[in-house]
């Protein structure tokens, strides 16, 4: 086997997940992390429960409130998000030094030199996802590919939760 193996990791509903972790009373509820619906606020992140109503990032908070009148608005706390992000990125660096953060909740990893030592694409992706879940109590999606574009598309196809069981990308054959 030759060629690059790139992972794209995206933490699922990151800001909302961190808020639900710190405020258990918000779990299972439609929440929006972002600005107030009373002003010109914008949705930064919506929980999956809020997304069922059509709420998404970048949407005006007032529109989110119209779509889901019972949605709960939470002001962002970047300090909390950065703490979790730093711990996750440090965990990723235990597998490879080739970690390229894209944002506070997203990164590319070049795992070419370690993936086969760790049991292959599926095994490494599942190990990383499990460690994030166990240590931070949040979920992440991982897509794999021979380059960043394919890895990003792969992660988007399997949100939330990432790599489907029995994942065997054709490009590895």
Annotated catalytic residue: which of 49, 106, 118, 136? Answer: 106
- State the sign of the Cα–Cα–Cα–Cα dihedral 117, 92, 57, 30: positive
Per the annotation, the verdict on 49 as an active-site residue is: no
Distance between CA atoms of residues 134 and 128, nearest Å: 10
User: How far apart (Å, rounded) are the C-alpha atoms in residues 18 and 15?
Assistant: 5
Nearest to 111 by CA among 99, 122, 103: 99
HSE, side-chain direction, 13 A CA sphere, residue 82: 4
* 72-74 and 43-46 beta bridge pairing: unpaired
Tokens read off for 162: 């990432």
Residue 143 in contact with residue 8, Cβ under 8 Å?
A: yes
Question: Going by C-beta distance under 8 Å and a sequence separation of 6 or more, which residues neighbour residue 117?
Answer: none
Residues known to be catalytic: 106
């Amino acid at each position: 086997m030759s060629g690059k193996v790139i992972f794209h990791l995206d933490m699922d509903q990151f800001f909302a997940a961190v808020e639900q972790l710190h405020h258990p009373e918000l779990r299972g509820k439609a929440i929006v992390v972002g600005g107030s619906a009373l002003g010109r606020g914008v949705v930064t992140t919506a929980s999956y429960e809020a997304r069922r109503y059509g709420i998404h990032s970048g949407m005006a908070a007032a529109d989110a409130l119209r779509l889901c009148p019972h949605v709960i608005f939470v002001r962002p706390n970047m300090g909390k998000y950065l703490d979790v992000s730093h711990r996750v990125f440090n965990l990723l660096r235990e597998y490879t030094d080739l970690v390229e953060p894209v944002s506070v909740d997203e990164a590319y990893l070049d795992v070419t030199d370690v993936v086969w030592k760790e049991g292959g694409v599926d095994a490494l992706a599942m190990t990383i996802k499990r460690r994030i879940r166990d240590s931070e109590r949040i979920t992440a999606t991982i897509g794999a590919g021979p380059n960043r574009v394919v890895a990003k598309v792969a992660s988007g196809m399997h949100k939330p939760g990432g790599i489907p069981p029995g994942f065997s990308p054709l490009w590895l054959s």
